[in-house]
Every structure is written in C-alpha cells, then in structure tokens.
Amino acid sequence: MSKRSVYFFGGEQTDGDASQKELLGGKGANLAEMARLGLPVPPGFTIATTVCSRFHEALHEADGAVPDDVLSEVDQNLALLERSMGLRLGDAQAPLFVSVRSGAAVSMPGMMDTVLNLGLTDKTLEGLAASSKSRRFALDAYRRLINMFGDVVMGLGHGRFEEALSAVKNKTGAREDTDLDEAGMEQVVARYKAIYESELGHPFPQDPRQQLTKAIEAVFRSWDTPRARRYREIEGITGLRGTAVNVQAMVFGNLGETSGTGVCFTRDPSTGENVFYGEYLVNAQGEDVVAGIRTPEHISRLEQDMPLVYKELIGIKDKLERHYRDMQDLEFTVQEGHLFMLQTRAGKRTAAAAVRTAMEMLAEGLIDEKEALQRVEPNQLDQLLHPTFDPAAARHVLATGLPASPGAVSGQIVFTADEAEEWAGRGVEVVLVRRETSPEDIGGMHAAKGILTTLGGMTSHAAVVARGMGKCCVAGCAAAQIDAKAKTLSFSRNELNEGDWISLDGSTGEVMLDRVPTRAPQLGEEFEQLMALADKYRRLGVRTNADNPKDAKNAREFGAEGIGLCRTEHMFFEEDRIAHVREMILAETEDTRRAALDKLLPSQREDFSGIFEAMDGLPVTIRLLDPPLHEFLPHETERRKELAESLGVSLEHVERRCRELEEFNPMLGHRGCRLAVTYPEIIEMQGRAIAEAACDAAEKGIAVRPEVMVPLVGLKAELDYCEQRLRAIMDTTFQSRGQKISYLVGTMIEVPRAALRAGDIAKTAEFFSFGTNDLTQMTFGFSRDDAGGFLVEYQEKHVLPEDPFQVLDRDGVGRLVELACQEGRAARPDLKLGICGEHGGEPKSVAFCHDAGLDYVSCSPFRVPIARLAAARAAIR
C-alpha cells in the first residue's frame, strides 16, 4: 500500500496522524489525530491531496474523473465505515449518511465546497425519519442535500431553491424555516426535486454511491476555481498539491433542543486572553454558524443548556491545547446530548492574540522560546503597529457591531466587492459594506480599508477572512440596514449613501460617522517581551530608512539600531530649499552653481544635525543626491514662468534647460553618482554639510557615526571619483574644526554591474548597501512605474509566483546579492553589508538577507519590529 490514497480514521482503525497535513490536509490529519487521542470523532476516511493533483491532470487530458484505483480504495474504506457504524449507505432501514468536505494543508476558509447529509434518497429518507423519530427533520435534511448538491456539485446556485422555500413559507404562513411543519417540508422537498430535474434534465440521483462520487469530484474541482486561486494568490499560498476530501459519518446538530453545533477557541482569538471563547447555536447544523445566517450565542449558553456536554468540551479543549501546544479552533456538534468533535486546528488569531498567546504559553512552559518566536508571523505585527482612534477626538457612534478584526480605519462606503476594487484602484479609501460576505467578495475585501457586515458572528466568513488579512472588520452590526439597490446604509437616525465616509473600530465594534482622527499604536508588554526575545536570537542588525529626525526617533523607539538609508533628495524638495535647488540646476557655470549650492549648505547641515542628534551613538547612512535633476523642475508653464521671474532669467531659458534635462528612461538616466561626475560641486556641498553637522553634534557631546553612501555606482572609477572628493572636503572640515570623527564611505549596490564588479568596488567601498528596488528593476528589466499592469497578469498566468518588488527574487536578484557579498568580502574582509531596499522589511526577504550573510537590514520605521522578528526566525530556522 505504498501508493495508498485513502486513509481511515475513528472507530476501529486510524491510519493517519497530525503530521500528515500535506497528504491529508489539515482537517483530515487533525481528525485522525483526535481519533488517536480517543476523542469522540465520527468515523470516516480521507482521500489524500495527491489524488487532487491526479484529478486535475486527468481533467486536462480527458473529461476528468477520480481514478479507478482510488475509487476502489474508497469502496474498501466505505465498507469499513459501514461496518464501524453498523449502517449502510442507501440502506432503507439503517442508512448511513456522510458529509463530504474539503481540507487542504493550509486552511482556506469557505473557499472550497462541502456537501452534507449525503446518502439521503427517497428510500433512505424513511430510515432517517425512523431513526431520528422525526419525519420533518428527515425531510429538512433531504431538502438541504438537494439544495447543496444542486448548488455545489451541479452548479445550479441557490436562487431558485430559495425562491421555492420562500413560496412555501408564504403559502403556509411560516415566518422562519423552523416554522415549517412536516407537510410544509414535504412540499419543499417536492419543489426542490422538480427544480433539480427541470434545470438539469434528469432527476436528483437516487443512488447514494453516485452522489458520493459526484461530491468527491466537486470538492476536487473546487480547488481550482478562480476564487480559490485568487485566495491563494492574496494569501501567498503556494506549493500545495491540492485539497484532500474528508468523507465522514454525519452527526446532526439539528435534532432538537438537545442538539446543537458550535465553533470555539481555546483562548480568545482577538485578544489572546486565556479564556474559553466560542459560539454555539442550538438545534443547528455547522454551516449555519459559519455562513452567518443565524447569529450564534456565546458558548456559556451551552453550559446552561447542557452542563455535562459543556464539561466534556472543556476537558477536550484543554487536552487538545496541551496536545498541540497551541491555541485551537474547534468545531463540534451535539447530537441528542452526545458531543462529537468535527475539527481542530490552530486558531487564526489577531496579531495581538498571537503575541499574547505566544508569550503566555512560553510563561506557562507549554512552548520554548524558539517556538514562541515561530508563533507570530512577522507580517502580522503590522496590525499591532496600526494606529488607533484618538480617544480625545469627537466621535459620533452610529451603532456597535461585533469587534471581528481589529484596526481603526475610515473610508467611503461601497456596497459591492467589485466597486471596492474599482474605487480602490483609483486610490479611493473604501469601506466595504455587506449583509454578509462570501468567497466571491475576497478581492473587494482585500481592496477595502475595512469591512462592515450586518449579519454573521465572530466566526462568519467576513470575520475569519478579515482577521487573516489583518483587515479591520466589524461584523453582525444588526442595527444597520442595507438597501443594496438604493445604495443606502441606514441607522436609526442616519441614512448614508454610497461614497459617504464612515470609521470602523475593529477592536470595539463601533461604527462611526465621518472620519475620526487616529493616533499612534500603543504596544503592550507582551510585544516588548517578544521583541526582546527576537533580539536575543537574531544575528542581523535592523536599521531604518528615515529622512528626518521625527522618523528617526520613531524608528529608534521601534528598536532601530541606526539609519540604513537617509535620502537627501527629500530635503531638497522642502518649500524653503527647492528655490535654491532650481537655481542650482539652471546655473550655466560652475561658479553660479556653486553659489546656489552655498545657499543650500546651511539647511542641509541642519537636516543632518537633527538626524545625528536623534541617532546619538548609532550609525547614520546618508545617501548623496540620487534623482535626475529634472525631477526638481516644475512641469507647468505657469510655474516655469514664476521660476524664471524669481531667478531673473527668461522663460525660454528655463524651458530650454527643462528640455535638455528631459529623459526617455529616467530610471536609467543621468542620476546618482553620474550627477556627481558631471557636477562634483553638489556632493562636495553635501560632504561639507555632513562634516560640519557632525562637528556641531560632536561639540555638543553627541556620538556621531556618519556613513556616506554614493548611489548608482556601476564602476569602481565612479566611486573613486566621488570618494576622493568627499574625503578631501570632509577631512579638511574635520581638521579645521579640530574634530576627529571617523566615518565610512561606501556605496549602494543597485546596478547589476556593481554586483558583478563587487570585488573591485570593495577596494574603495567600506560598506555596501543593496538597493534592491533598483537592482530588481534592472535585473528583471522591469520599470516599477510601468510594470504594475503586466505583473498582475504574470501572477495570474503563473509566470511569476510573487511580485519581485515585494518579495526579493532569490534566484535572480538574490544571486547577484550573494555574489557581491562573497566577492566584496573576499576583497575587504570587514566590508559592512546591508540592504536598504523595501525588501528590508519583508520577512521572506529578511530571511534571505540572513542566509546571504548581510550585517543588517534597513526598513521603514513601522516595519522595524517586523524585521526584528523575521531576523530572529531566520536565525532559528
């Protein structure tokens, strides 16, 4: 059985265990594990993920079916299940019913399909009626199967079934589904069967074995739908073989008041607090909870209703958390007072909860330090670093819903996912407002700043997906009414239209009118503990990219150990300087250019002084002027006229110079050190400003460690040209001020040639900082400004797995980085190596930097904690 495809669990035998997630999917592996632990799991079997890939290969070739060898294994396992349950699929007296559920190695909530109550036919209906002692119940189960099978397996959709249900309810005067009596249900089943047959041209299948095969195929098919692919794309899920299929004996949570179903977490998934947290619906099937159709009650209700079951559940949740040593997300069903476990998995949690549970479990001795670090995804921390609403600000609360996913956002309301995507594409900040969300809404949820639903609970689709995305969500806000056609959102006293602003507080559930001002995030004690732990394990230094003292201070509070990139051009753009910059650019001779630069010197010096003060004792890497000069010139004729007047030159002169400086490909143009070779006086001014600011700071007792960085070097001679001029002016300045300040001169490695000649360049450069934004542009030949369109297509067509501007391309760009590290260090063993592209704050890229042997990464202030954690995880991997 080395090529076994089907694995049994529960009852007499369990083939798999929790370690086999890749093969059995998360759900299947954990069902097996729970069975092994002796927990009450309805028996069943799992068809492995490997079958899914075989299924899809076959689909390309022929009409696609489950392979015969798999079907015969299914038969054997089905026989075992029947024996184990003492029931038989399709048997009139003792019929077996099963659920058919998907389950990939990585959870994709709601993305793939499920069929419940499978095995019901006209014949077995009566068996179920007899065993459940309720013919109404059996009919209800049957109509659910017809609906689900018709929708999921045959692609009919819900619409006509729901119309029929409403019609019968109207006719019989029933308000809720539960008001329908047996006769009503009988009518519903009849109508459903008629719809099925009229739509598909054949009656609902009365052979349960055929139902099963079709359902298995449908689950496999659901792996590769556009919405499932899009979900994996957004979540960055790659490398999976497909979904497994779990076929499991049905238990019914809707057999009356001693039955029910629920979802719970061993700790609070929103805050991480160590309390039992969950939701419960009496007399309901599991899908009712997840789909958010009925708003469930707090788990404590179960304690009141069925104290013994509750106690058993508490025991199980404790056992599972200890066993898995992680917070678990459980699904259970109670059938006539008997508890059955249907799922356990690591619970999705907010960043705050992830940090708190990791730190508390570490304190409890449940996990060790390395495990604690693995428990928090670095990117998740981004949530914690989000701002919160300013408590001092006025707020007009319209209503309060469930605090489904934290965050404090404002946006203009839209009512469909498509609009959310479209508006966001135009740069509008939107809040997506829906009665409930469904998997089709994924794109719009991703595009929105926040999500508001009027139905559904904390475990509804909207809530689960939003938490996974780290997106602010208020769910189940029952006080709000949506009119999708009129595009209005009504509260008791207010009616809002599409485009109106609201604010959502995902931590309190408050929905507020208009935009509410925010303030910087408050980080808790556990966060500090986690960061201290990360610092203990990481080898990589973490610096920040900051161009002004405020950002520098902020980053230092987040733990930055220096500035890895201080861009000087941002200073040039400031109101009071841009005039001098333009004067300099329009100068015709070196003398007039120097005169304009002299006017810039004092402000540059001040810029650097402020940054040196903020970073007292820490290194500060200052990049010399980088952008092409045309970026500093005005584009509109009116502005050019003003400029000409202010400088006392003709408009023609200004326009000629603008024309001269225009470039076809500015990315590859006259910028970086190329400017310095043409106008060495610019970097001489900058060198002088750095040296004077360093002296000023040193005289105040501040420890200054300047690192001067020459951008866009591709040739050693370019760096030499700049380095000689810089050292000359800086050394002279230090000498004349009587200061001994040591400093480094190094370069960005951002042009492919620089990486290829790193051995040469390191003879002059005392440090390298990889500018992976530009290096990615030139290595791929992708202009970041232009590639947006086709990069999305590349990902859709599987030409590129990830956007290389987000995640560093190890194979291509990474190879250049590694080569430059090796050859640079060979030429200068103490060469300092860092990265200052935006990849420096992206966890996978940070892991690469660790592997490549860099000394530090540098990223934007808010990503410093992410980089610290990512660096630690890379070190212990």
Catalytic center residues? 461, 836
What is the closest distance, in whole angstroms, from the C-beta atom of residue 784 to a copy of itself in the complex? 8
Residues of this chain that interact with a copy of itself (CB under 8 A) are: 663-670, 674, 677-678, 712, 714-715, 717-718, 721, 750-753, 756-757, 760, 774, 777-783, 785-787, 789-790, 793-794, 797-800, 809, 811-813, 815-816
Are 861 and 560 contacting, i.e. CB atoms less than 8 angstroms apart? yes
E strands of 547-644, at which residues? 563-567, 619-623
Q: DSSP letters of 210-259?
A: HHHHHHHHHHHHHTTSHHHHHHHHHHT--S---EEEEEEE---S-SSTT-
What is the closest distance, in whole angstroms, from the C-beta atom of residue 168 to a copy of itself in the complex? 44
Q: Which residue has the tokens 């949740």?
A: 317
Residue 799's Cβ-count burial label (10 Å; 0-12, 13-18, 19+) is: exposed
Cα–Cα distance, 682 to 668 (Å, whole number): 20
Strand, helix or coil for residue 566: strand
Are 534 and 358 contacting, i.e. CB atoms less than 8 angstroms apart? no
Distance of CA 405 to the CA centre of its chain: 13
Percentages helix, strand, coil for the chain, rounded to the nearest 5? 50, 15, 35
Please give the angle made by the CA atoms of 705, 710 and 713, to the nearest 5 degrees: 145
Torsion angle in degrees (nearest 10) through CA of 591, 592, 597, 598: 80
Other Cβ atoms less than 10 A from the Cβ of 493: the count is 6
Other Cβ atoms less than 10 A from the Cβ of 517: the count is 14
Contacts 24+ apart (CB under 8 A), 278-283: 278/330, 279/457, 279/458, 279/459, 281/253, 282/257, 283/178, 283/253, 283/254, 283/255, 283/256, 283/257, 283/259
Residue 812's Cβ-count burial label (10 Å; 0-12, 13-18, 19+) is: middle
Q: How far is CA 646 from CA 66, 253, 592, 640, in A?
A: 78, 80, 15, 10
Residue type at 785 in one-letter notation: D
H-run or E-run covering 262: strand 260-265
Are 278 and 264 contacting, i.e. CB atoms less than 8 angstroms apart? yes
Q: How far is CA 873 from CA 532, 536, 847, 869, in A?
A: 13, 11, 8, 6
E strands of 656-770, at which residues? 705-710, 744-749, 767-770
Are 369 and 53 contacting, i.e. CB atoms less than 8 angstroms apart? no
DSSP assignment letter at 508: T
Other Cβ atoms less than 10 A from the Cβ of 807: the count is 16
Please give the angle made by the CA atoms of 407, 412 and 414, to the nearest 5 degrees: 105
Cα–Cα distance, 857 to 43 (Å, whole number): 51
What lies within 8 Å, CB to CB, of 470 at 6+ separation is 350, 351, 379, 380, 382, 383, 405, 407
Cα–Cα distance, 169 to 162 (Å, whole number): 10
Q: Which residue has the tokens 């760009």?
A: 813
Looking at 364-504, list the stretches that DSSP marks H as alpha helix, in order from N- to C-terminal side: 369-374, 381-384, 417-425, 442-447, 461-469
Structure tokens at 399: 């209503």
Q: What are the two backbone dihedrals, phi and then psi, of residue 348, each rounded to the nearest 5 degrees?
A: -65, 145
**Helices 135-148 and 122-132 sit at what angle, rounded to 10 degrees?**
140
What is the closest distance, in whole angstroms, from the C-beta atom of residue 677 to a copy of itself in the complex? 6
E strands of 737-822, at which residues? 744-749, 767-770
Structure tokens at 1: 């059985």
Cα–Cα distance, 51 to 62 (Å, whole number): 16
